[in-house]
Structure 1
């Protein structure tokens, strides 16, 4: 199973809130003015329900700390009640307390990589190193394909929303991809999507090796980042249990605009991992996520590359179809410039072009300037075309790499003392693995 896009790890665990609203205070027993005020306000009541669910989850997993937890909760109730009927004050108290409880709960239930995880990490490193001897371009991809999960899986889609084609709902009738026993457990569990709204699909896959298929919920929510959210539910006998205590959590989410990131479900040492890849120019970082637990300290493989960059003599015009030929001297100058990229820092401490006594501000000469979030600026550089000095930037799509074209990038040029459009040239590159390293730490997010 393969998912393309972008990811962020969330706070997650083997617990879930199926009835978060039902978990709020019993409003028939509201005894104070603040409690009655909270019960009458939908937003505050939902916060109370969320906080109550996290508090109970933390209480359950923190036996030695229960007395202290009770004491701090009583102090919080007292502070909340001092807000009287000030809605902004009450809202702030709830959100602050919820943040504290969630952090404590994360720390209490976070997965700690064990010896088997470390052995799996070592196996993965050695497999990539071995593959790089025969295929230095695609060693990581070939290794992930060889490790893909092979246990039987079943899948089904959500039911369409008649009023909104961009939303689906969990099926109301048993889908073909689920057995009778699985469907009974699913309907008993009030399955929610991985995002608040979107197009959801569901995969039944044994993620913990107990012989029962667990549930992966994949929700495409779209938006400016073309977001996809992924959450998991563990099969626990006659029901499925959501991995996270947070009502809107996800195992990871992926942003398919402005990133080159993906996830593969792989098997190592008998364990299933969600292998999340976060790519940029010169590096792939692969994080081995336990799919049913909180992931804070994560086994990580980093594959580093060197590139042989080339500005082709035949360039495409803006229409993408018409072409033109670079003049030989210009072709030579551009290739000399990109050849130095691996030696160039993103921001120069020295001006890239000579600063004249008068004219544009001095800052125009040190950097090409900011780039769109949808692209990665690899490096700033200077390019001399004849007697003219240009500020250049090599940009790509976060190391996006294809078998046909390799790395596709662009060299953008501008005159430091002029506004408006500059010059842009296509750049291609072929990579090879130069290092495969391992570590255990937090997921790095761009």
Structure 2
């Protein structure tokens, strides 16, 4: 019996060691971060500032060298020499929807079928994912869980990187519908000679005809306030025509981008966002004239064409920014690398973006505007949610981004994760020799 008890206790301790930390408890006392460099997220910087938040809401952001505040009833954290940033937002992400790409049972990012506007990524979001704590440790505190597959994939939702379940973690439900625009050409990887083969899409016209019929039905359906019985597919698209939801269109080729945006406008969708945009530089004037924001795919990649400059993906954010296009950055399908999102912004600074604060906007306030959550997050301003982090150095530089404090809606989050546990395990092992 004694041996059994010891075995059970040992097993329990090992299980707790391997699990993620529990979600943070609600804020109970007003907190002040004092003497840090505050990066507001809108281009402004306060070199020596103070930020106060209570009940999860920012109540004051000020220059600590000018204002005098009573600190008696505050939990004061001195962050002198450190940097305070708004929580970084990862759009177009499958974090929480898949864990291990090669293990089918851990992948829940798409449904079977071609036209699935009624599918909701929200309910598949797994708050117990081992990946979520790793993104928090680089300051990524919000993620947009997006569906994939088919032509119309379903709706996305904006989630917080902390919570017991998806009901706790959701910040904005069903913010938009996702459309994979039928491209003129498709790219396939040829395993025989390890090359990418470009092929004409023979089913393109058929797919576009189906889209036109679906959107025509959805627009007519949305013109009536209610229907009995309810059509779940068309009901899910109702918000597209009122402007309540975005239409996120995955498109890369320049001609596809123009055609996709023109289609959306023709069917009465006012809010369109291009996702991917690998050739957005070719249609930058069109995007600006039609007020279409772009969520770029990962910058750390090779260009699509052999005759393009090898650094074109790195320069893309600067090209769009200087043209006046609203730009956000993402890692899209590479969910395991989402923790490196702030470093994409750092790369953009070295390749044409005006300055570091403009690059920071591409992973904070710009993305918040695109997703329609800029009224509550994206910048460190009075009245917004206290979703922020403190880094020992520049958050956009992988050499100095050492996150020391994280707050999500004012809740102080435990920064333990699987990476740290493994590091400490093997550090101890090899230091013994």
RCO higher in 1 or 2 (8 Å CA, sep ≥ 6)? 2
Larger Rg over CA atoms: 1
TM-score normalised over the length of structure 1: 0.22
Q: Is the helix fraction higher in 1 or 2?
A: 2
TM-score normalised over the length of structure 2: 0.22
Q: Is the strand fraction higher in 1 or 2?
A: 1
